[in-house]
Amino acid sequence: MLHSVGSRMIRGLLPALGTLLTGAALAAPDAAVPERLAPCVACHGAGTSETEGVPSLGGQMPDYVVTQLFQFREKQREAPPMNDVAAGFSDDDLRTYADAVGTLPPPTRTADPADPALTARAQALVSKHQCNSCHGADLAGRDAIPRIRDQREEYLLKALAGYKSNARPGYDPAMNEVAQELSEADIKDLAAYVSRL
């Protein structure tokens, strides 16, 4: 069931939101993980998102997810439809969903690896700005710092641009500070490279 809904956003979207907003499927705290995640997976895919603008959640750090669900609920991170999705969540719900997200398998790479010139430019940026020191040696995340490898390219672009303009305030200012030093060309190179690792 999970796998059958993952790639079909258009059909999955409306029932998923309806279920969420009425809270029906999500109310039972003891529901099995797959049932709990079904409405989320309808948009996000079962680990790998097939939908433009919707990030993959597979392999994401639960301690990071909890911070973002909190920010969505409090409208500190404005990102429709997640503000509505998280609006009625209790603190326990935030943790329960974050842990459930942590059970999804890491995303599979959806594009060919970056070409050598782009790879060289992006690796120089990664080392200059020490992305690895926070996001982990292979950019797979650690603790409350997100996994970014193999994330969707257009989502990474939006995230980095959002930190740079401060439209997206992080739970911690680190990313907003890092992004001030990135040019638009740097952001394009980083998103293309990181999404194809």
Where along the sequence are the contacts to ligand HEC (CB under 6 A)? Answer: 13, 16-17, 20, 39-40, 42-44, 53-55, 57, 65, 67-69, 79, 81-82, 85, 97, 101, 125-126, 129-131, 133-135, 145-146, 148, 156, 159-160, 170-172, 174-175, 178, 190
Q: How far is the CB of 95 from ligand HEC (least distance, A)?
A: 11
Shortest distance in whole angstroms from residue 68 CB to ligand HEC: 4
CB-wise, 115 or 167, nearer to ligand HEC? 167
- With tokens 């999705």, the residue in question is 85
What is the rounded CA–CA span in Å between residue 107 and residue 81?
A: 21
Task: Provide, rounded to whole angstroms, the least separation between the CB of residue 117 and ligand HEC.
Answer: 18
Which of residues 117 and 150 has its CB atom nearest to ligand HEC in the complex? 150
86 burial level (CB within 10 Å; 0-12, 13-18, 19+): buried
Select from 37, 33, 3, 4 the least CA-distant residue to 19: 37
Whole-number Å distance between alpha carbons of 147 and 134: 10
How many C-beta neighbours within 10 Å does residue 80 have?
Answer: 8
**Between residues 171 and 197, which has the closer beta carbon with respect to ligand HEC?**
171
**CB of residue 166 to ligand HEC, shortest distance in Å:** 11
Compute the distance between CA of residue 86 and CA of residue 82 in angstroms, rounded to an integer.
Answer: 6
Looking at the Cβ atoms of 116 and 141, the one nearer to ligand HEC is 141
Q: With contact defined as beta carbons under 8 Å apart, do 155 and 55 qualify?
A: yes
Beta-carbon count within 10 A of 117 CB: 9
CB of residue 116 to ligand HEC, shortest distance in Å: 19
* Distance in Å, CB of 171 to ligand HEC, minimum: 4
Q: Which is nearer to ligand HEC, 116 or 126 (CB)?
A: 126
**Which positions ≥6 away from 42 have C-beta within 8 Å?**
5, 6, 9, 12, 13, 15, 16
Two tokens at 29? 């705290």
Q: Toward ligand HEC, which CB reaches closer, 115 or 130?
A: 130
